Amino acid sequence: MEEIRNKIKESGLINLDLAFFKPNKLKIVPFDIAEQLWQGLVLKEKDFRQFLADHDWNQYQNKYVYIFCSTDAIVPTWAFMLVASKLIGIAAHVMVGTEQELIRDVIKSKIEELDIETYKDGRLIIKGCSDIDFPAFAMVKLMERLQPVCKSIMYGEPCSTVPIYKAPKK
């Protein structure tokens, strides 16, 4: 009887699942500056600074916070900076934008933290069917990060891949 061999494992292909970069169960919290606008239009610096001094910042401990203004008011840049200065060191992640932008930012950060030496001269397959927000965004960020070190990059499953990149011969 012939021994069963795992030909995919023997091929030296490296499988990478996008689900690895999924921000799992993030505690996402919005911070809306609009709630501090005088008559919904203007931010008074003195009142805003007092609000920031009195606000309970511990509620943001280890949470992912996106700062925004839900009205069409023109909010000065320093207001976002003041809020961020209170959150840095408390929140796990702080940014100005939307919840979707925050999720993309976290995915991008995880990809940037990837140890690319693991993939040096490797033949990589990026798994196609993953439950992740913004898969095209994640795929392009992965390409940007890994293409300079990989021998080849494919998309899909080991049994059925689409070639994406092949390094030029040296």
Residues 76 and 119 in one domain: no
* 100 in a structural domain: no
* 97 in a structural domain: no
Share of the chain above pLDDT 90, in %: 65
* 123 in a structural domain: yes
Note the pLDDT tens digit of each residue in 49-100: 999 999 999 999 999 999 999 998 989 999 999 999 999 999 999 999 999 9
> What whole-number distance in Å separates Cα of residue 41 and Cα of residue 45?
13
What is the residue range of 52's domain? 28-91
Q: Strand 28-32's sheet: what is its strand order?
A: 28-32, 64-68, 93-96
pTM: 0.78
Residues 126 and 86 in one domain: no
**Overall average pLDDT of the 120-146 stretch:** 87
Residues 65 and 83 in one domain: yes
Q: Strand 123-126 relative to strand 152-157: parallel, antiparallel, unpaired?
A: parallel
Residues 33 and 84 in one domain: yes
Does the structure show a pLDDT above 60 at 8?
A: no
**Overall average pLDDT of the 103-131 stretch:** 88
* Domains in the chain, number: 2
Does the structure show a pLDDT above 90 at 169?
A: no
**Overall average pLDDT of the 133-153 stretch:** 92
**Overall average pLDDT of the 103-128 stretch:** 91
* 96 in a structural domain: no
* 101 in a structural domain: no
How open is the CA angle 116-122-124, to the nearest 5 degrees? 90
**Overall average pLDDT of the 130-146 stretch:** 87
* Neighbouring residues of 75: CB distance < 8 A, sequence distance ≥ 6: 33, 37, 43, 69
* 108 in a structural domain: no
